[in-house]
Amino acid sequence: MSDIPKEIPKLKMPVPVTFHLLCSIPTIDKQYDSGIVKADKTVEYEELLSPVLFVVDMGPDAYKDKKRFPSGASCAVGDFVLVRPNSGTRVNVSGQEFRIINDDSVEAVVEDPRGIRRA
């Protein structure tokens, strides 16, 4: 996985509302560590089922509910987070997939997502 999503003009990006987070899916490596090239379908499934997302933006009400989030926000813009595979609404912008997820979908924050895959 690459660490940073591709640059996309801000005008094309969806803007999350209420308690939603806009996340990108980190780019999946096109080959295995051994150097063997992955089939296109394999890469597609790895992206589709990726538990790792990169937080791009947050809606204005994300993590504002003090009853549900007494310790404050679970993550911040710029964090890599773990979610359940297939979480959120899938959106394709300029060839890159994004997900719009609920603020309570974040299960963990990871400093370095390389090597994390769905079990």
Homologous superfamily, domain 10-110: GroES chaperonin (2.30.33.40)
Please work out, in degrees rounded to the nearest 5, the angle formed at the alpha carbon of residue 32 by the alpha carbons of 31 and 33.
120
Domain boundaries, the chain: 10-110
pLDDT in tens, the chain (119 residues): 444 455 656 667 899 999 999 999 888 788 888 889 999 888 888 888 889 999 999 999 999 999 999 999 999 999 999 999 889 999 989 888 899 999 999 999 999 888 887 77
Q: Which two tokens stand for residue 41?
A: 């379908």
Check: pTM over 0.85? Answer yes or no. Answer: no
